[in-house]
Structure 1
Amino acid sequence: MFSNEIIASFNELETSLYNYIIQNSDKVAYMRIRELADETHVSTATILRFCRKVNCEGFSEFKVKLKMHLEEKKKTIIKSPQHSLVEFFERTLKGELEEKIKNAANIVTQADNVIFIGIGSSGILAEYGARYFSSLGKFSMYIKDPHFPIHSKLRTNSVIIALSVSGETNFTITHLHQLKQEGSKIISITNNKLSTVAKISDLNISYYVTEEFIEEANITTQVPVVYILESLAREIYQLNQ
């Protein structure tokens, strides 16, 4: 209901009103405008101006939208970890995952430089992947800054391993375009083989689990990514022996 732009437009009184509503949403949804005015020590005119700023004709429409928002929050159900794992094993492991991991391992083994990229939770796992690969004998690095200067020697015969749940992250797409133009091979690990990141990759490994969100946060399980990264690193280790 409240975007960053809308919140930034509030004056001091409206900000005070916003804070009260956020802390007392269940109560406000059933209050009359005069009751809210008395509770927050603002005029009804201020409340109506506040409602218009959040794209409501009046206080009645605002309460309807607030109730709908509260209902949506109540409906959010987080799947159990077991459900996500079963989904991953049934959808992915029965397919060509192992073959793709072997193909990816061959590409990485022949490369002189391995660079992981990702952002958010994918960035955390990209950093983990770089460390895990290095621990098993294939030195790798993780880069989270799209403007990080990559020496020309590192771009020669290099492979980029990109992690992205949606495969539509602007940071990752921009970075991949730049590195692909400079001759790097791209391996991506995404949740969907039809995503932009997957399409611009030389090889894509998809794991297909249902994406989950809590408000703006993507809480999709990352267990499949850990499995793929560790399987890939171990396959590379075996090839190097």
Structure 2
Amino acid sequence: MLDRIRACLPSLAPAEQRVAELVLADPRSFALLPVSALADRAHVSKPTVVRFCRSVGYDGLADFKLKLAGNVSEGVPFIHRSVNVDDKTSDIMVKVIDNTVAAFLKYRNEASASAIDKAVTALTAAYHAGRRIEFFGVGNSGIVARDAQHKFFRLGINGVAYSDGHMQVMSASLMQPGDCVIVISNSGRTRDLMDSCDIARKNGATTIVITASGSPLAAAGDIHLAADHPQGYEHYSPMVSRLLHLMIIDILATALALRIGSDKLQPLLREMKANLRNKRYA
């Protein structure tokens, strides 16, 4: 988070630069002080403090301070350590776990709550209108799409997951306004996913893309849920990206379940659990 502020510093207005310098000088105090005290210390107005938070990619002062507080209190550094051929099993175990934990904490501190809210709002509207909710992914992301279908199916949503490019294009061609499609990609550069996303969007469906910032797919969707991590997608198996995408799906499913309401979901889930009981050994 502090690296992001340093990178944005030259492009900020002079008054916002003073706020940035205040953050970098003492991030812990910035996270605790009220906006009036922050404005006085930076010699700017209170609206300038809020503008600074939005200029560096956050939803406002409250969102910025919440994530800043989490960032400066973490005991796990946001550093990706690549595995090497001469690593011992114990080294591999520690690196894989540390990389995953660091990626999750980084996402928590940088994720846009407003983007998540827009996605959940679109999914809720599609659910109540009885519209289609589908999931597109290719390769490893296709497995995540299947997991998303399973999680939404438990909420009573008859969604479909497609990992075949031809099926994605055909499905996207049949979409209409009010439908939703969640497109999942690590690289954000898969041609099949780009084609199907463009077709679905032209037909009026809401396209929610879970992918890396700055990728072509990120710009192609209606709602971009950034899934950024330091792991290169060309090396080894995309372990961190898959887990990060699964977590984002969990967030969407949980938020959607809360929007639907426990009065409607709890009886359904209780009956499902009771019917599955006979599938297990006592």
Residue 225 of structure 1 deviates from its aligned partner by 1.1
Q: Distance in 1 between matches of 2:202 and 2:234?
A: 36
Q: Distance in 2 between matches of 1:198 and 1:212?
A: 17
Higher relative contact order, chain-length normalized (CA < 8 Å, sep 6+): 1
1:175 alignment counterpart: 196
1:95 alignment counterpart: 110
Q: Distance in 2 between matches of 1:220 and 1:214?
A: 12
Report matched runs for 1:78-93 at 5 Å: 80-93=95-108
Residue 100 of structure 1 deviates from its aligned partner by 2.6
Determine if contact 1:210/1:220 at 8 Å carries over to the other structure. no
Q: Tell me, yes or no, if structure 1 residue 225 matches structure 2 residue 245.
A: yes
Determine if contact 2:180/2:208 at 8 Å carries over to the other structure. yes
Q: Tell me, yes or no, if structure 1 residue 110 matches structure 2 residue 125.
A: yes
**Percent pairwise identity:** 21
CA, structure 1 residues 110+203, in 2 after alignment: closer, same or farther (shift >3 Å)? same
CA, structure 1 residues 189+214, in 2 after alignment: closer, same or farther (shift >3 Å)? closer
5+ residue gaps, structure 1, are 1-72
Determine if contact 1:117/1:161 at 8 Å carries over to the other structure. yes
Residue 127 of structure 1 deviates from its aligned partner by 1.0
Q: What code does the residue aligned with 1:80 have? A: K
Residue 75 of structure 1 deviates from its aligned partner by 7.3
As a proportion of its length, which structure holds more helix?
A: 2
Residue 143 of structure 1 deviates from its aligned partner by 1.7
1:129 to 148, 152, 160: 148
With structure 1 as the length reference, what TM-score do the two structures score? 0.61
5+ residue gaps, structure 2, are 1-83, 262-282
Residue 74 of structure 1 deviates from its aligned partner by 4.3
1:238 to 258, 264, 270: 258
Q: Distance in 2 between matches of 1:131 and 1:230?
A: 11
As a proportion of its length, which structure holds more strand?
A: 1
1:193 to 213, 216, 225: 213
Q: CA RMSD in A?
A: 2.5
Report matched runs for 1:1-241 at 5 Å: 74=85, 80-111=95-126, 112-148=131-167, 149-150=170-171, 154-190=175-211, 192-212=212-232, 217-221=236-240, 222-241=242-261
Q: What code does the residue aligned with 1:131 have? A: H
Q: Distance in 2 between matches of 1:75 and 1:169?
A: 32
Determine if contact 1:87/1:209 at 8 Å carries over to the other structure. no
Q: Distance in 1 between matches of 2:228 and 2:195?
A: 24
Which structure has the greater CA radius of gyration?
A: 1
Q: Distance in 2 between matches of 1:220 and 1:212?
A: 10
